[in-house]
Structure 1
C-alpha cells in the first residue's frame, strides 16, 4: 500500500490531481446522465427519465457530488479512492446490464478508475480493480445474446487495457512515492543541517556577516551584530553605515583578493577586528565576512603574561628588596655624617628618590601577584579622603604643589574595601602629580567627592596637558605607558581593584587638564 495514500487530500503530494480526478468523475457522471435521458441520437441512448437507467444516471451524479465534497475533508486518500472505485464499478455494472451498447463510454470511464487507483493507492489495488472490472464485463457479456453482440468487439481490448494501465500507473505511483519520500528525507536533512549550521555560527567566537551586492548586511550571527552594533533583526543596515573602514577594506579585497589587510577598529570600546572576506559561492555577488576579535586574543595573552609575571615577581621581590633596604639604610647613615658637602647630599637625594621609585615598581608588580579578593565594608568616604590627604602630605611632601579636597559636609558612606580605595587613590594622585602638570609649573590636584544617586563619585582632577587621544585607547591596558619612567601597571591595577569592588575607573578629558573618575557603590541603607 502506498504510504502517501494514508494522508488527506490537503497533505497528499498529488492532492491537486486527486481533486481534479474527483471533479472529472462528477463531470463525466453528468455527461453520461445526459446521454441517458436525451432524445436518441448518435451521441445518446434516449431512455426515459423515469426509467431504471435514468435513475441510475441521476444517482451517479449525486454520489459523484458527495465524493467531491468528501475530498475537502481529512478522510484519507485511499478510502476516498476505494469508495469511488466501488461506486464506479456499481454504476458501470447497472448501466451495462440495462444498456450493453454503452460499453464504449463506460469502458473508458472504468479505465480512468483503474488508473487512478493504481497510481494513488497501489499496483495491487489497481490490479484488483482491473480484475473486478473484467469479471463484471465477462458476466454481462455472457448474460444474453444482445450483450454479446454489443460488447463483443470491445471485451478483449478493454481487458488488456485494464491490466496494462494498472501495471503502468502502479509503477509510476511507486516512483512518485519513492521520490516524495526521498524529497521529504532531504528536506528534513537540509533543515537539520541548517539548524546545526545556525547553532555553529551563533557559537563561533568570531563574527559572521553576509553582505549582498548592494553593500547591505543581509544576516549576521550574534557576535557579528554586537561587534558592528547592528539594529534588531529585520532592519537592514548598510555596511558602509555600520563600519565605513570595513566597507573600504571589502572594496579593496574585491579589487585584489590577495592584498594584505590590517585590523579594523570598531565599536565604542574600540575593539580590534581582523576581517576575512570570502565569496559565498562562485555564481553569487554576496560576500561572507568573518570578523575575528583580536582584542580577545590580546587579553588572553596579557592574562598569561600577567600570571607568569605574578608568580615570578612573588619570588623575586625579596631578592630585590633586601639589597634595596641595605642601600637605603646605608644612605640614611651616610646622610647623618657632618663631612658631606652640597654635592654629596645631592647625590644622596638622588639615591633616595631612585630607591623610592624601585619600591614603587616592586609594589605595582606585586599587586599583580597578590590580586587579593575585595573585602568590602561600610565606611565614611569623606573621612577616609581627609585621612588620605594627611597621610599623603606626610609621606610625600607637596612643596609647591597643591592637593585640595572638595567634599560635602554630609556623610557619604561607601561599600568597598578601604585598602583598595586607598591604593587606587595613591595611583591616581601620584600620576596627577608627576604627569598632570604643565612644564616648569607646580602641580594643582583636586579630589572632588559627590553623590550621584546610584553611585558615589571621586574625581581626581589636574591642570596638566591631558592625555592625547591616540593614547586614551590603551590607557588601562597592562604595560601601556607613554612615559619612559612608568611600568604601565598602575592604572590597570587601579581599574581592576575598582571593578572588584563593583565600581569602575574612567578617564574624562577636560579642556584644561585630565579627570580620572572613581565610581564606588553606596553602602546599603539601614532598614
Structure 2
C-alpha cells in the first residue's frame, strides 16, 4: 500500500515559516558572534587573521543582512520558497568568504556550513536540498582552489571532498528526518482537528437532544448543560458556573438523596407550574463530576393516560348499568314519597336530600361516561384561531354570556395543533365554565380572557378571569378528582381536563402570579407543526 503523503505546499505550510524564522534567529546570533568576537579581539585569534579588512567588511554586512532577513521572515513577507533559496545562498557565500579570510578549512570553520546544509535539507523539499549541499561543496572547492593558486602550496582537496560528502549525507538525513517530523506534525494536527470537530459534533448533538443533560462538579456547581435541560428546568442562566441548589432546589434535594444512597431518590416533579413534568437520573463519572439526565415525561404520560382512559371507559361501561338502575329506583321512590308526604315538612326535607344527592351521583356518572364514549384519542389538525372563535361564540350563546364578557386575543393566527377536537372542546368548555362561574361581574372590563400565543417551542391557550383567584390551600388539590369548592360541582372537571390534555400530548397547568388571579394554560409542543402541516 502506498504511504499517505502528508506534505503540504510550502506556501500553505505555516510550520515552514516558523522553522525559517528559527533559522533566521540562529543566523543573526551567529553573525553577531562572528562580528563581535573579531571586533573585540576575543579568542579564537584566527578569525580574520589572513585578511582582516575583508573579514570585517563581510562580517559586518552579514550581521546587517541577518537582521533584515530576521525581520522579513518574522513578518512572513514574500514567497517562502524564494526566501529560503535566497537566504541559504547568502549564508553559503558569506560563510565561505569568512572561512577564506580566516585561513581556510584548516580553521575548522567549514562545519558552519553543515548547519546551512541541514537547514536546506529540512526546509527545501526534493532535489533542491541536494542542490544546496552541492553549492556548499562547490564553494569549499573554489575556496581551496583559490588558496592554492594564491600561493598557499598545500593541497586540501581531500579535506574539501570529505567535507562535501558530509554535506550530502547531512542533507539527505536532514531531509529524511524533516519529512518524518513534518508527517508526524501534519498527522498530529489532523488528529487535533478531528478531535475538535468531534467535540463540536458532540456538543451539537447534546444541544439538540430532547433529553436534558447537565454536569455538576463535586461542589454542586453546574459545569455544563444543554438547551433542553435549560428549558425543562426553567433555568434563566445562559452560561454554566452557578449552584444547582439555588437554581433548581427540588433537583438538588433529589440529587442529595441519590448521593446518600436513598432507595427512591428520584421522583417526577415540575420545576415550575408552567413547565412539563420531568424525571431525572444520574451517574458518577471517573473525573468526580456527576452527569444528570433530565427526561420529559410527556410522551410516557400521554401513553399512560390513553391506557388509563381506555381502562376507565371499560370500567364505567361495565358499572354504569349496575349503578344507574338502583339509582333510578331510589330517585323514583323519593319522588313518590315526596308526593305522598307533601304535607309533612320534615318528610319533604328528607326527600329533597334524596333527590339532590341522587342528581349529584347521576352527574358524576354522566361526567365519567363522557370519557368512556371515546376510548381512543383521534387527533387531527386544528387551526386554533378559527376553532376558538367558533367555540367562544357557541359557549356565549349556550351559556347566555354577554358579548363583551369574554375577550378572545389571538397573537398567533396561524397556530395549528394536533388534538382530538371533541376532547379539546370538553377541556375548553370546562375552563370557560369555571372562569365564568368564579369571575366578578361587577368589575369593569371583560370577565374572562382567552389568549392564543406561542413561544419558540410551544403554543399556548390561556384562560383567565377577573375573580378573586385561587387560594393557596385550594391550589394543592386543584387537579385532584372529587375535590371541588363549587356548589354542586363533582370535582372531576379539572381532573378530566388534565387527563384529556395529557392523552393528547398537551399539558394543562395553573399559573400563579403576584395578583393571585386564576389563569390556566394549555401547552402544545410546537414541533408537532411539521407533522400536521
TM-score bin (small chain): 0.5 to 0.7
Deviation at 1:4? Answer: 5.2
Mean Cα deviation higher: 137-146 or 213-222:
137-146
1:165 aligns with 2:158: no
Equivalent-residue separation in structure 1 for 2:394 and 2:105 (angstroms):
110
Distance 1:448 1:490, change over 3 A: farther
Per the alignment, in what secondary structure is the counterpart of residue 91 of structure 1? Answer: helix
Work out the number of aligned pairs and report it. 466
Partner residue of 1:376? 389
Partner residue of 1:392? none
Equivalent-residue separation in structure 2 for 1:505 and 1:234 (angstroms):
28
Per the alignment, in what secondary structure is the counterpart of residue 132 of structure 2? Answer: helix
Q: 1:131 is matched with which residue: 129, 134, 144?
A: 134
Per the alignment, in what secondary structure is the counterpart of residue 182 of structure 2? Answer: helix
What is the CA RMSD across the aligned residues, in angstroms? 5.4
Tell me, which stretches of 5 or more residues in structure 2 are unaligned?
Answer: 342-346, 410-423, 451-463, 523-533
Tell me, which stretches of 5 or more residues in structure 1 are unaligned?
Answer: 389-406, 433-444, 521-527
Partner residue of 1:471? 477
Structure 1 length as normaliser, TM-score?
A: 0.67
Deviation by residue 1:314-343 (Cα, 9 ceiling, x = unmatched): xx98x979x979x97998799689996779
1:242 aligns with 2:236: no
Deviation at 1:300? Answer: 2.1
Q: 1:12 is matched with which residue: 6, 9, 15?
A: 15
1:101 aligns with 2:104: yes
Asked if 2 retains the 8 angstrom alpha-carbon contact of 1:26 and 1:65, the reply is: yes
Per the alignment, in what secondary structure is the counterpart of residue 209 of structure 1? Answer: strand
Per the alignment, in what secondary structure is the counterpart of residue 289 of structure 1? Answer: strand
Deviation by residue 1:232-282 (Cα, 9 ceiling, x = unmatched): 3346211222234443444454454x954331535112755433332333x
Mean Cα deviation higher: 488-497 or 214-223:
488-497
Partner residue of 1:393? none
Deviation by residue 1:356-383 (Cα, 9 ceiling, x = unmatched): 5433433455588688963515989998
Q: 2:198 is matched with which residue: 189, 193, 201?
A: 193
Partner residue of 1:215? 220
Q: 2:87 is matched with which residue: 71, 84, 87?
A: 84
Partner residue of 2:412? none
Distance 1:124 1:330, change over 3 A: same
Equivalent-residue separation in structure 2 for 1:208 and 1:339 (angstroms):
70
Deviation at 1:515? Answer: 7.8
Partner residue of 1:204? 209
Asked if 2 retains the 8 angstrom alpha-carbon contact of 1:335 and 1:345, the reply is: yes
Aligned ranges 1:358-437 → 2 under 5 Å: 358-363=365-370, 365-366=372-373, 374-377=387-390, 387=400, 411-412=404-405, 414-415=407-408, 424-426=431-433
Equivalent-residue separation in structure 1 for 2:169 and 2:361 (angstroms):
109
Aligned ranges 1:498-513 → 2 under 5 Å: 506=510
Partner residue of 1:292? 295
Deviation at 1:166? Answer: 1.6
Partner residue of 2:460? none
Equivalent-residue separation in structure 2 for 1:360 and 1:176 (angstroms):
81
Deviation at 1:193? Answer: 1.1
Equivalent-residue separation in structure 2 for 1:508 and 1:181 (angstroms):
60
Deviation by residue 1:53-100 (Cα, 9 ceiling, x = unmatched): 554444333332221122122445443222111112223444556665
Higher-RCO chain (CA-CA 8 Å, sequence separation at least 6):
2
Structure 2 length as normaliser, TM-score?
A: 0.67
Distance 1:360 1:188, change over 3 A: same
Q: 1:268 is matched with which residue: 265, 269, 272?
A: 272
Deviation at 1:206? Answer: 2.0
